[in-house]
Structure 1
Amino acid sequence: MLPHWSTFKLLGLKSSLVKCMPVSLYSTTEKGKGTLFKYQNNLPSLPVPSLDQTLTLYKRAIIPFYPLGREDTFYQNYCKVIDNFKEVEGPELQKRLSHFAEGKRNWLSTIWDNYAYLGYREPVSPFVSYFFSHKNLNTEIGKDQLMKSAALSHRVINFMSKIEHETLEPELIKGSPFCMESFKWMFNNCRVPGLPSDTTIKFSPQKNRFMIVISNGYFYKVYHHDLNTGERFSLGQLYASISAVHNNSHQKPRCSNPIGILTASNRDVWATNYKHLCDNPLNKISLEQIQSASFVLCLDDNFPTTIAEKSVDCWYGNGYNRWFDKPVQLFVAKNASSSFLGEHSRMDGTPTLRMNDWIIKQISKMSVTEFHDEKKTAPQYTELVFEVDPFIQSQIQKEKKAFKQVTESLSINVWQFHGFGKEEIKAYGMSPDAFVQMLIQLAYYKYTGTVRPTYESASTRMYFKGRTETCRSVSEESLQFVRDWENTSKSGAEKIASLRSAINSHVRYVKVASKGLGVDRHLLGLTKMLRDGEKIPDIFKNPMYTYSQHWFLSTSQLSSNEFNGYGWSPVVPEGFGLAYMINPHWLHVNITAFKNNPLGLNPDYMAFYLTESIQELKEILSKSVIRAKI
């Protein structure tokens, strides 16, 4: 998951620090706290890769994109440029980067947050945010909009409390701790539009014990702790408050000036409108209430039925019943279909995956008897008021049209294949993630007859404030695999051998990237060390440098049996957004693209070739005699 790289200037962007409101975040030193952040102080710092290692890996990664591979004259000439950079400009930029990294536990964090997210000016929805669609629950709670809304909110508040008191278990992957820093930014946080880049604001959870409920386009401040006693509200009390808000909002016609649509704007436009809104003291107060709220719950009036409809609903929805700048936003439709949308600037998908997976598992075990409210506390909520002047009215109408135009330019296909998943792949001694990456490569090759730059997110959370590094999925081995697979003269054994070689190559790259030693973040860091007026080195001006970072396929895996959807947008006009889940016995790929894709590519056709590819892989693998012992 990453923003539209085609809209960035690859060079010349000045990095600026992420601006955050000074506020005491959850501390790891307070007495009585749990173990959530127990490993933070001992996490290693993100390393600065060696120049030689990065350039060697880079030269290898771009080979598949030259028609003649290693023998291509253009490749050989570019290698000379790369080698010259290693001897001439590279050492000085590397020295500057190493100096920049001194005293920092993560030299990349502020650069990346601004370059990839806060400095990005296109609308966060649908272009940056990611979504999870929850599976349907065949229970009384799971079929009632308001009961499910209360249940979701109650369990989210429980999860929030675990973070606040640090009782949430820290994550260990194969015995190694992962950075839990991003959990601090999950609640009571908000992205704020600004020029030339946005900021993030973090508020005290103890001083802001409320959530925002958006219903029929109106905004309500709904308390989840009692204003008088400070006690957390019960499930029944939350249900009463949410029901009261729903009733109140629907006693009026749908809001004619839905402020939320402004958050779907181009960020420069939203920054201008935001400043205008804040010039009115009443509006400024309402905006601060939204920003400081724990999270947002949206009560929708639609009935999404198919998985594609559910996915679209949480990907961008109707636009007006939303606040796209919050990192945790939940939606519940009239038919109780529920989902989640995450603003991406301060956290990636793994923390919110954990939260959503946990709350759906919790809700599936709940009983309606838990909604009984013995205290009969009066609902505690207030409606937020916005004074909308003619200028903002015109901007709302303008953004409604712009949002409709943008979202109608996108298409989606939700591909699922049951009866073959993680366990079946492991039975053949293969990495499930690498297998699906090769499945995607094969389907794309069948569709287009070529391979193109492919991005996969590799987690670097083994380091302090680690987020992601790029895994370049296309390799010499993956290219050979797709060619061999489509070669009718190759035997099944030869095809499987080629598949294994491609998978092993991919696994090696993921391991390198997860250690923070990939190509892309290091090269980005080197470009950021260039000073104003300095000549841009030829390595960065070569067409292959730009092309190999033009992600025709943007992919990432987050898996949960509690979801029936997960995805985001394509990141370049010609590309696919391919979000995939690998569950024990089924696979899921959410395929998004622009309808006016310059290459004429269509998600429906990509889904067709995914099916053809998995059926062929499954058939030939089933005939192989060697299966791994599990």
Structure 2
Amino acid sequence: MNTSQEWSTRTFGNEDRLPRVPLPTVEESCQRFLEWCSPLLTADQLAQTEAAVAEFLRPDSPARELHAELERFNETEGVQSWLDTFWPSRYLGRRDRIALNANFFFLFKDADQGQVERAAGIIASAVGFKLLLDAEEIPPVIQRGQALSMAQNKYLFSTTRIPGAVQDSVRTPYTPEWPGPSDARHIVVFFGGSMFRMDVIGADGVPHSLDDLATGLRAIMKTDTADATSETSVGHLTTKARAEWAATRETLASLPGNAAALDTIETALFCLCLEDFTPADTQETCDHLLHGDSGNRWFDKALSFIVFGNGRAGINIEHCGLDGTTILAFIDTLLNTPAEEHSRRSGAQPQGLPAVEPIEFTLDDDLRAEVREAADSFAAYAAATATKALTFEDAGANRAKQLGMSPDAFVQMAFQLAHQRTKGIVGATYESIATRQYQNGRTEAMRVVTPESVAFVEAMTDPATDAATRRAAFRTAAAKHVARAKECQSGQAPEQHLWELQLIQKRAGGGEPLALYDSPGWTVMRDDYLSTSSAPSLNIQYFGFGATSSQCIGVAYALLPDRLNVYLSTPMPVAAEMHGFADHLRDALGELQELLASE
């Protein structure tokens, strides 16, 4: 194992030296799969699943050849991970809308700045980061002596998801089609549903100064945007289901001038969305970061910074190439240093008003109708999503540590208890676990429910159980949670392996159906009641994403030293349960602290 002193200091200098994601055997994944799904199943369901697994493991099972094919792929020259095909299939293959369903957001910590000053500072800081990235001078992340993959940083700038009829693609630098870093010098600024190209780097490669950027933004905000309507704000189209958007984009690109307009958007370093209002509160701020006015967004863009009328700011991220840990490191770099310092380090110079020009599309009657329909459909979809922003000032990471508990295990067990008290059942729960210590490492799918967590919930809901027994059950469940998280971090998890075997068969055109994928264990374990993910950063107030199924509550949590901030989302038919979950969560967090404090 390398030590931190031996790792390259260049951004991408360690990628080939990282270990590869371990490829489990079929036996290992099946054993773990049975362990993971069993707490969610009845005895009959478990028996059916065990029979399906036994069939899956037969020497002549098609699963054996599927795994052999995966082994061959893993050993192919140029392949860095057996998941290199899985991730595009998972993210780019989804056919529903990505707006609200896949994109996620972060609400930045507040700054005592007005809208234009905040926005100009974010631009200058991001441009400074981009120039350092181009020179590979962003230090690679070293965690406990192990370098982490920095490959996702290549997807931060000038990256745009392109809709496809069967599977989407990505237009991005650092590819054969666009070698090396992006040479774009502009961003796209949205205001009032209108789009503008604004140069943020001069023709000689020198960034514009903060004052220049502010002047450019003020010029845009003085522009008459009255013509931007739900029929002409083309950003609405990015909310459509992917195959529909692909067909519409083809039509759009065929009309005069539109291919050039699309090229301007797709090659831009990033989007900046200026909102012409101030949200009433944090709840409304988060909701607009998640979905907002879709005419003032381009949801296919990797990065869209959003700045409100009061200077509050955040970011909406397209997920196909970027995970939360990469974005958090990016945001920390931007916000830990004043914008003036970022600007100075980048060599920014006053150059006068940046080049600014409107981005206009030619629209016929049919396209106008499509834009209007997309706007109405997405507005209705957003309205059919219930959300809630919560803060628990007595349940931060420091408090959990004082009580001798892993902070993540503490809140995850509180989620389990609150869910059972709300719905009367223990439901399948997903937690995202980062695996960037591997080549092309992204995340692993962890399933939170264990026999130990079920026993803990039962102890807490049985009035006959005394405090000592409850406490012991809590600590046992938390220890199991930590152990499973470590297993996932080290690649010892079954779901993505078994899922990729299923996808290999589908890509090949089918074949003999495998009973495992219709078994109760597979279907129940993956039908989320809670979908959870955390964002640990002092620069983040809230983090959020949409729910993943009809009964799912999305639980995005920022576990800060002095508080726990949670953003919940769910389909409107489950709104009452979501609000009940929020109430029970508040009670559970207090009750569990009291339980541990009484030792």
Output the TM-score relative to the length of structure 1: 0.88
Decide whether the 8 Å contact of 1:595 with 1:602 is kept in 2: no
Which residue in 1 is equivalent to 2:191? 215
Q: Which moved more, 1:454-463 or 1:472-481?
A: 454-463
Letter in 1 for 2:30: L
Q: Is 1:522 matched up with 2:497?
A: yes
Which residue in 1 is equivalent to 2:377? 402
Q: CA 1:85–1:601 in 2, change beyond 3 Å: closer, same or farther?
A: farther
Letter in 2 for 1:211: I
Pairwise CA distance, 1:96 = 2.3
Pairwise CA distance, 1:365 = 8.3
Pairwise CA distance, 1:63 = 1.5
Which residue in 2 is equivalent to 1:128? 102
Which residue in 1 is equivalent to 2:65? 92
Decide whether the 8 Å contact of 1:34 with 1:165 is kept in 2: no
Show CA shifts across 1:105-132 (max 9, x none): 2111222222x21111111111100001
Which residue in 2 is equivalent to 1:538? 515
Taking only the aligned residue pairs, the percentage that are identical comes to: 26
SS in 2 for 1:100: helix
Show CA shifts across 1:192-223 (max 9, x none): 11111110011464521111111111111111
Q: CA 1:367–1:470 in 2, change beyond 3 Å: closer, same or farther?
A: closer
1:206, 1:196 → 2: CA distance? 27
Pairwise CA distance, 1:285 = 0.3
1:214, 1:44 → 2: CA distance? 42
SS in 1 for 2:120: helix
Decide whether the 8 Å contact of 1:307 with 1:565 is kept in 2: no
Letter in 2 for 1:224: V
Show CA shifts across 1:162-194 (max 9, x none): 211111111112111111100001101100111
Q: CA 1:607–1:367 in 2, change beyond 3 Å: closer, same or farther?
A: same
1:275, 1:532 → 2: CA distance? 27
Which residue in 2 is equivalent to 1:268? 243
Pairwise CA distance, 1:156 = 1.1
Decide whether the 8 Å contact of 1:215 with 1:249 is kept in 2: no
Count of aligned pairs: 577
Show CA shifts across 1:570-614 (max 9, x none): 0001110001111111111111011123xx753221110110100
Q: Is 1:175 matched up with 2:145?
A: yes
Which residue in 1 is equivalent to 2:5? none
Q: Is 1:145 matched up with 2:115?
A: yes
Q: Is 1:590 matched up with 2:567?
A: yes
Residue segments in structure 1 that go unaligned for 5+ positions in a row:
1-32, 625-630
Q: Is 1:482 matched up with 2:457?
A: yes
Residue segments in structure 2 that go unaligned for 5+ positions in a row:
1-7
Letter in 1 for 2:356: Y
Q: CA 1:601–1:83 in 2, change beyond 3 Å: closer, same or farther?
A: farther
Decide whether the 8 Å contact of 2:528 with 2:549 is kept in 1: yes
Output the TM-score relative to the length of structure 2: 0.92
Show CA shifts across 1:548-580 (max 9, x none): 111121111112222222110000011100011
Which residue in 2 is equivalent to 1:552? 529
Decide whether the 8 Å contact of 1:216 with 1:249 is kept in 2: no
1:40, 1:169 → 2: CA distance? 13
Decide whether the 8 Å contact of 1:458 with 1:514 is kept in 2: yes
SS in 2 for 1:470: strand
Pairwise CA distance, 1:249 = 4.2
1:108, 1:376 → 2: CA distance? 46
1:584, 1:375 → 2: CA distance? 40
SS in 2 for 1:588: strand
1:195, 1:537 → 2: CA distance? 27
Which residue in 2 is equivalent to 1:154? 124
1:321, 1:197 → 2: CA distance? 25
Decide whether the 8 Å contact of 1:307 with 1:564 is kept in 2: no
1:34, 1:478 → 2: CA distance? 42
SS in 2 for 1:456: strand
Letter in 2 for 1:152: I
Show CA shifts across 1:231-274 (max 9, x none): 11111111111111111245x44445101111111111111110
Q: CA 1:46–1:375 in 2, change beyond 3 Å: closer, same or farther?
A: closer
Pairwise CA distance, 1:135 = 2.4
1:416, 1:365 → 2: CA distance? 32
SS in 2 for 1:617: helix
Pairwise CA distance, 1:136 = 2.1
1:365, 1:50 → 2: CA distance? 53
1:258, 1:98 → 2: CA distance? 47
SS in 1 for 2:310: coil
2:562, 2:275 → 1: CA distance? 32
Decide whether the 8 Å contact of 1:133 with 1:566 is kept in 2: yes
Q: CA 1:259–1:612 in 2, change beyond 3 Å: closer, same or farther?
A: same
Q: Which moved more, 1:75-84 or 1:125-134?
A: 75-84
1:340 corresponds to which of 293, 296, 315: 315
1:107, 1:249 → 2: CA distance? 52
2:273, 2:109 → 1: CA distance? 18
Decide whether the 8 Å contact of 1:195 with 1:271 is kept in 2: yes
Q: Which moved more, 1:341-350 or 1:203-212?
A: 203-212
Q: Is 1:59 matched up with 2:29?
A: no
1:293 corresponds to which of 268, 271, 284: 268
1:374, 1:267 → 2: CA distance? 42
Pairwise CA distance, 1:367 = 12
Instruction: Indicate the RMSD between aligned Cα atoms, in angstroms.
Output: 2.1
SS in 1 for 2:527: coil
2:539 corresponds to which of 535, 554, 562: 562
Decide whether the 8 Å contact of 1:134 with 1:562 is kept in 2: yes
Equivalences for 1:392-471 in 2 at 5 Å?
Answer: 392-471=367-446
Which residue in 2 is equivalent to 1:5? none
Decide whether the 8 Å contact of 2:210 with 2:340 is kept in 1: no
Which residue in 2 is equivalent to 1:28? none
2:184, 2:30 → 1: CA distance? 49
SS in 2 for 1:556: strand
Pairwise CA distance, 1:379 = 2.8
